[in-house]
Structure 1
Amino acid sequence: MALLSLRRRRVVASPPPALHVPARPPLEPPAQLLRRLEFRVVRRLDGFLFGDYRGLFYGPSLDLAEVREYQPGDEVRRIDWNVTARSGRLHVRQYREERELTAWLVIDTSPSMNFGTRRVLKRELAREFAGVASLVITRHGDKIGAITFGPGSGMAPPRGGRAQALAVMNLLSRGARGGPDASTQPTDLASALTAVERTLRRRSLVFVVSDFLETAPPGAGGWTGALGRLAQRHDVVAVRVSDPAERALPDVGGVRMRDPETGEELWLDTSDPGVRAAHARLVGERDMALKRALQSAQVDLLDLGTERDPVGPLLRFAAVRRGRRR
């Protein structure tokens, strides 16, 4: 976690007694989770979108129809630089929508996702988003597949129907059973994105669901380039799941911190204003680096927090993408 990047001069000299760690709640069964999401989330989204489900996730059209000259108001990202270079005049790519949409969920199941201090853990929030996306997409006849990376990684090939939504939930349930004491594997987002790029043959809508907390910042670990290559061929959305305690270090005195992906431990005096200020700077720097990396790859960001259900963020995200299509 990001907390481990703080300087060790702030570590408490005499650590207090070991903290009591409450038992982790059992995972909600996949079928029960789907029923809850359909009743509490998907129906609410339908009420706002009036059945226009493609307005929720669907971004730019995916099939190239023609290339035409640039007109004022056209998106810069649609400029075809090869045709522009040959003709000497700006040309843009014109798309038509596919009748059938194929979507993929690329979901982080690394140990850092087993963290949460509010409504749910990050891994559970990722499952909720995957369930909503699967229900929304498959109920209209389109296909969705899933790939997980981290302990218990696996794949569910793209199919349609409610049975496929349940298959995606079962895959995520298997990938989320590792706890804090399970194998410690650092998140390797670059390798995961490269594997996805090699796997996907048809142009698709791809959701990369992760907390995007790596030991190396964006760019240094190489995943920025892999994301850019993936976004060149597919419509990619980065879904970041986070917890308020990761964004703002609470003032709770001396606390033992453990990196779930390396096993490294240290004590921090969270009542020290200098420690909290250093953490705030680190979080700000990582946020800026992530946003720059996504903007460079022309990838949209959907932010989800463990303190609230995903309805509000999904509606705001849909409004942005629908406005862009207009």
Structure 2
Amino acid sequence: MAGLLQRVKSKMAIFAHRKARGMLDGEYGSVFRGRSLDFDDLRAYVPGDEVRDIDWKASARHGSPLIRRYVAVRRQTVLLVTDTGRNMAAEALSGEVKKDIAVLALGVLGYLAHRHGDLVGLVYGDTAVTRSLPAKGGEAHLERLLGHVDSHTNLKAAPSRIQDQLEYTARNVKGRHLLFVVADEIAADAATGQLLRRLRAQHEILWLTIRDAGLAPPPGAERTPGADTNSHAAADSYSVADSALLAWQPAMSAEVNAAYMTAMEERDAARRAMLQGAGITEGEVAGSADVITGLFALLERHRRAG
């Protein structure tokens, strides 16, 4: 069976052609690459690069813009922070398991960091335990990190609470890092907001939210008894938090669905305001098909905000 990192690379190739992958790579580099006076090499300009780095003489000879790259003063440490509780073993809005989307997103960002010579570590867990793996370089190390996320996220895990992993990071991680947090739709509260402001004072933070499954099946997707339980045609669903039955028929009521949508919009607005108030850039994805474009938009938004 192909390794997780190889699957990440394959999906990057499927969802983004060469130019788009170059733009994503350039966006990461323009935001986080170290700088010194030691010239490294030239490469083609991609949107997101600093105009001041264009070598105009070399560009004139070459016929297209070229960027001067420099040897980094230091390698950056990227810390992947994610929830591996049973909530992440539930369905996302796309119908995929949220864990699979999280592994892809963590793999893409981790692979970009690896390509730029940065070190990558991991903090993960649930309400029962939080674990960490030290930051190192290399594809084998990144494969190991993704394997831990994949193997520990299942329906038998303890409930999710990303705040536990954030508190662990605040207590135990010294120095300044780039934190890439992947979680589902958390609710805002004063304690979490204070914790995020504390973390942001020390670290740069990128936050990716994986959207939860909808209350009811999409219009036209009738649920039928005996259908595949992994599809939207399944008879009913249940909550991974407490195994409570989530019968779909009441959710088809216009009044119930409208109330649910209002509650979700209010929760989303509160979360976005909490993250914005802490100075944290957030992106959202509904499924694996959104990960490449979602990360590009997230990096671009972070660069513009900074």
1:265 aligns with 2:240: no
The answer (yes or no) to whether the contact 2:80–2:120 under 8 Å persists in 1 is yes
How far apart are the structure 1 equivalents of 2:183 and 2:165? Answer: 11
Matched length: 254
How far apart are the structure 1 equivalents of 2:259 and 2:27? Answer: 45
Give the equivalent residue in structure 1 for 2:50: none
The higher relative CO (CA closer than 8 Å, separation ≥ 6) is in 1
Give the equivalent residue in structure 1 for 2:165: 192
The answer (yes or no) to whether the contact 1:147–1:156 under 8 Å persists in 2 is yes
The answer (yes or no) to whether the contact 1:156–1:167 under 8 Å persists in 2 is no
- The structure 2 residue matched to 1:165, chosen from 128, 135, 142, is 142
* 1:146 aligned counterpart, secondary structure: strand
- Structure 1 position 153, deviation (Å): 5.0
1:121 aligns with 2:94: no
* 1:203 aligned counterpart, secondary structure: coil
**One-letter identity of the residue aligned with 2:305:** R
How far apart are the structure 2 equivalents of 1:289 and 1:249? Answer: 25
Give the equivalent residue in structure 1 for 2:58: none
**One-letter identity of the residue aligned with 1:33:** R
The answer (yes or no) to whether the contact 2:120–2:136 under 8 Å persists in 1 is yes
- Structure 1 position 236, deviation (Å): 1.1
**One-letter identity of the residue aligned with 1:322:** R
- The structure 2 residue matched to 1:204, chosen from 150, 174, 177, is 177
- TM-score for the superposition, normalised by structure 1: 0.68
Structure 1 range deviating more: 42-51 or 140-149: 42-51
Cα deviations by residue, 1:97-127 (Å, 9 ceiling, x for unpaired): 9632111011111212221363632111100
Q: 1:141 to 1:120 in 2, by over 3 A?
A: same
Cα deviations by residue, 1:35-55 (Å, 9 ceiling, x for unpaired): 424544675544225745323
**One-letter identity of the residue aligned with 2:75:** E
**One-letter identity of the residue aligned with 2:302:** R
1:224 aligns with 2:190: no
Identical-pair percentage: 23
How far apart are the structure 2 equivalents of 1:120 and 1:225? Answer: 32
Cα deviations by residue, 1:65-89 (Å, 9 ceiling, x for unpaired): xxxxxxxxxxxxxxxxxxxxxxxxx
- Structure 1 position 271, deviation (Å): 2.0
Give the equivalent residue in structure 2 for 1:16: none
Q: 1:138 to 1:307 in 2, by over 3 A?
A: closer
Give the equivalent residue in structure 1 for 2:110: 134
How far apart are the structure 1 equivalents of 2:276 and 2:73? Answer: 25
Q: 1:189 to 1:311 in 2, by over 3 A?
A: closer
- Structure 1 position 152, deviation (Å): 7.8
* 1:208 aligned counterpart, secondary structure: strand
1:144 aligns with 2:116: no
* 1:201 aligned counterpart, secondary structure: coil
Give the equivalent residue in structure 2 for 1:319: 300
CA-based RMSD: 3.1
Give the equivalent residue in structure 2 for 1:24: none
- Structure 1 position 137, deviation (Å): 0.4
How far apart are the structure 2 equivalents of 1:156 and 1:117? Answer: 30
- The structure 2 residue matched to 1:241, chosen from 188, 205, 210, is 210
* 1:218 aligned counterpart, secondary structure: coil
- Structure 1 position 278, deviation (Å): 0.9
Q: 1:98 to 1:205 in 2, by over 3 A?
A: farther
- The structure 2 residue matched to 1:101, chosen from 76, 100, 106, is 76
- TM-score for the superposition, normalised by structure 2: 0.72
- Structure 1 position 58, deviation (Å): 3.3
Q: Which runs of 5+ in 2 are unaligned?
A: 35-71, 225-234
Q: Which runs of 5+ in 1 are unaligned?
A: 1-26, 62-96
* 1:129 aligned counterpart, secondary structure: helix
* 1:293 aligned counterpart, secondary structure: helix
**One-letter identity of the residue aligned with 2:255:** G
